[in-house]
Structure 1
Amino acid sequence: MAQPTKTIAEINQRIKKGKAVILTAEEMVDLVRSKGKTAAAKEVDVVTTGTFSPMCSSGMLFNFGQEPPVIKASQVWLNDVPCYAGLAAVDAYLGCTEPRADDPLNKVHPGRFTYGGGHVIEDLLRGKAVRLKALAYGTDCYPRRELDKSVTLADLKYAQLLNPRNCYQSYNVAVNTGSAVAYTYMGPLKPGMRNANYATAGQLSPLFNDPYLRTIGLGTKIWMGGGTGWVIGAGTQHNPKPARNERGIPLTASGTLMLKGDMKAGMDAKWVRGVSILGYGCSLSVGVGIPIPILDEDMAFFTGVSDADITMPVRDYGHDYQAGINNVLAQPTFEELKSGEIKVNDQTVRTVPLTSYALSLEIAELLKAKIERGEFMLTEAQERIVSE
């Protein structure tokens, strides 16, 4: 790796003085192509990235406060969605994929849900009241055994998005070679490979722009859900040493991030939305933007990555995936995926994105504008996430 020619402290000084040059990851592609990485490294201070996609490993850690007589909740529900209450007295965690108890669609079509934890989180961010129900076994210090009331986000003493695994660095393209529709977390897959569903934001995606996580680690400040968030470490299922192409781009699902952000400080339901995936369950689409400081030529090169440089593995969710068979049927570029069709075993297959490229670009632009106004400073990672 090249020796740094700029520091984050120096870049922050340029931001404060209004002299920093900020580009979105999409803009950086054109600059690196036209001027090369050396000139780009001298000219640009920060590249902004963005992604808006379902991120199933997400949820809300919250505290709903005490009122006399006090309670140590052992079971908690928000709008009939079960939460995990094995924490302190009035702390609980709501997972975005947890479905509502007695969901009416599930009664008619088992395994199909219309409402879950992700929808509760979105409702709270929209200012809606939700029903809080708690049960307890009662103790001498916590005598109350039941609580049932309406609460808003403002009523909660504490509410943080605490997401164990977000921003996957590359992911599978899902197809179905079987003879019946496969209902998966990648959406419904038609038999005979009649659609190929894919995720990530390609050249805008945060971890494609810093493939070795040189600038992203514990304590990295990010744009999250419309407000401010933080990287708190590697996400669950983080694969630190995947096979890579010559640009450092992983050939399979690899890096992930654990993130947190204060729901009560600037988050917007436009960027945190409950999702129902037909035949599979519930999830949460989360908007994340990460600034990448251009410390040297290598970082300029990495942030010049284009959709044509990124390949994604195609896997069969009609048989191989559930059988644990890691068979890659094809490795199309993200540019090909965005074109609307790819070739798999000489068959033309229509492609369907789960990630919104348009909203991902809007996030990168919003973060760019925020930095240009001096409202967002970069931070030094306090601990690196192993990624090579």
Structure 2
Amino acid sequence: MASFKVNKTIAEINERIRQGKAVVLNAEEMTEAVRRMGKEKAAREIDVVTTGTFSPMCSSGLLFNIGQQDPPTLKTAKVWMNDVPAYAGLAAVDSYLGATEPTEDDPLNKVYPGRFKYGGGHVIEDLVRGKAVHLRAEAYGTDCYPRKSLDKKITLSELPYAHLLNPRNCYQNYNAAVNLTSRIIYTYMGPLKPNLRNVNFATAGRISPLFNDPLFRTIGLGTRIFLGGGTGYVLGAGTQHVAAPKRTERGLPLSPAGTLMLKGDLKGMNPRYLRGLSFLGYGCSLAVGVGIPIPILNEEIAWFTGVDDSDIQMPVKDYGHDYPNCLPRVIQHVTYEDLKSGEVEIMGKKVETVPMTSYPLSLEVANTLKSWIEKGEFLLTEPVELLPSA
């Protein structure tokens, strides 16, 4: 195990937060601090680095309980919210609403088959905005649950339990998507023009959570985070977590790698950081704001949080030919710095870049989390179990 000159604990950092003495920087500021003072001095002087991302995260959803209504009781077999089907194969009145589930009778789909205007992500946003949604449920009826239907308007405040439960968020690196075919294609990375006329990419670069702790030295089961404008927690690795991809000397993966499973109480969240989305030709999703505090325990972690956009190498893949056929071919790697500039060279051609992640809102997430910590409103947690990284 590596030996470090600086060794702090989360308990010590939390005590500094309680006393109002903690030095907190956002990840953008930390990059400059490490460049200016070096990792050892940065590790001594800085206690916490806040990260942020605001991006479409399709593998998200709402676990909720509608409560037993006026007698008689019911056990739901089918549930809809604003005509979006939820999964009801759980106990009694528990259901799960997926962010990408569309309405059954979407008007856009009638005109353009396969295209949807409204889905689970929009329902989640509407609930957080305080809007009443149309709840409809069907049941087969049993001796203990005799009621067979329910039809009413309901608001978030009326739900006994409503937690955002996201199986896979916060990808640690991701593909930059291009299209080498001669026709436009519609994807979860947005519309891709034919003949390499745009490249779409996602991530917040140097302020993105998992680029600042690439080997999961501080993030794990039980880590308290900013989620959707409220408080959430890491439940563990996400459903497509890859533990051992090829990495750069800074520990940064060269392909899609780590992911997180997250949860948090929807009633404490803010619609500014949860937005229902509709992607032309693909379907619905949810943009989620996530911020993770990184405790600066030693020089290694200080070094990791000094990551810059020029350090991040993102793989370019063809979503016209290769991606739908599950081919692993990487055309080349490009830096996040170049993608962020608005134009990048791919296969010798200058190509316009299109971000799927909002950098200004990602930075806002990091700064909001920073203010919570500085005010003593948000303490760090010791992970119960770290995530696999290699």
Task: State the TM-score, normalizing by the size of structure 1.
Answer: 0.99
AA matched with 2:340: K
Q: Is the 8 A contact 1:271 1:287 kept in 2?
A: yes
* Separation in 2, partners of 1:249, 1:7: 24
Could you tell me which residue of structure 1 aligns to residue 280 of structure 2? 278
Shift of 1:172: 0.3
Instruction: Within 5 Å, give how 1:84-123 maps onto structure 2.
Output: 84-123=87-126
Could you tell me which residue of structure 1 aligns to residue 322 of structure 2? 320
1:246 to 246, 249, 261: 249
How much identity, in percent, do the aligned residues show?
A: 67
Could you tell me which residue of structure 2 aligns to residue 27 of structure 1? 29
* Separation in 2, partners of 1:247, 1:26: 17
AA matched with 2:31: V
Could you tell me which residue of structure 1 aligns to residue 74 of structure 2? 71
* Separation in 1, partners of 2:209, 2:177: 22
Could you tell me which residue of structure 1 aligns to residue 201 of structure 2? 198
Could you tell me which residue of structure 2 aligns to residue 231 of structure 1? 234
Q: Note the alpha carbon deviations across 1:320-362, whole angstroms, 9 max, x for none.
A: 0001111111211000000001111101110000000000001
1:219 to 2:222 alignment:
yes
Say which SS state the counterpart of residue 163 (structure 1) adopts.
strand
Q: Is the 8 A contact 1:215 1:292 kept in 2?
A: yes
AA matched with 2:147: R
Could you tell me which residue of structure 2 aligns to residue 37 of structure 1? 39
* Separation in 1, partners of 2:317, 2:19: 49
Could you tell me which residue of structure 1 aligns to residue 381 of structure 2? 379
2:358 to 347, 356, 359: 356
Could you tell me which residue of structure 2 aligns to residue 177 of structure 1? 180
Say which SS state the counterpart of residue 38 (structure 2) adopts.
helix
* Separation in 1, partners of 2:183, 2:149: 46
Instruction: Within 5 Å, give how 1:137-156 maps onto structure 2.
Output: 137-156=140-159
Could you tell me which residue of structure 2 aligns to residue 369 of structure 1? 371
* Separation in 2, partners of 1:345, 1:195: 13
The 1:63/1:373 distance shift into structure 2, 3 A limit, reads same
Q: Note the alpha carbon deviations across 1:217-257, whole angstroms, 9 max, x for none.
A: 00000011111000000000100011001100000000000
Shift of 1:198: 0.3
Q: Note the alpha carbon deviations across 1:20-49, whole angstroms, 9 max, x for none.
A: 100000000111111110111011000000
Say which SS state the counterpart of residue 228 (structure 1) adopts.
strand
Q: Is the 8 A contact 1:2 1:298 kept in 2?
A: no
Could you tell me which residue of structure 2 aligns to residue 61 of structure 1? 63
* Separation in 2, partners of 1:364, 1:237: 25
Q: Is the 8 A contact 1:2 1:296 kept in 2?
A: no
The 1:208/1:247 distance shift into structure 2, 3 A limit, reads same
Q: Which runs of no fewer than 5 residues in structure 2 stay unpaired?
A: none
* Separation in 2, partners of 1:34, 1:383: 34
Q: Which runs of no fewer than 5 residues in structure 1 stay unpaired?
A: none
Could you tell me which residue of structure 1 aligns to residue 346 of structure 2? 344
Q: Is the 8 A contact 1:273 1:286 kept in 2?
A: yes
Q: Note the alpha carbon deviations across 1:267-324, whole angstroms, 9 max, x for none.
A: 0001001000111000000000000000000000000000011010000000100011
AA matched with 1:345: M
AA matched with 1:279: G
1:132 to 2:132 alignment:
no
Shift of 1:2: 4.0
* Separation in 1, partners of 2:351, 2:318: 13
AA matched with 1:37: K
Q: Note the alpha carbon deviations across 1:158-192, whole angstroms, 9 max, x for none.
A: 00000000000000000000011110000000000
Task: State the TM-score, normalizing by the size of structure 2.
Answer: 0.98
AA matched with 1:129: A
1:207 to 2:171 alignment:
no
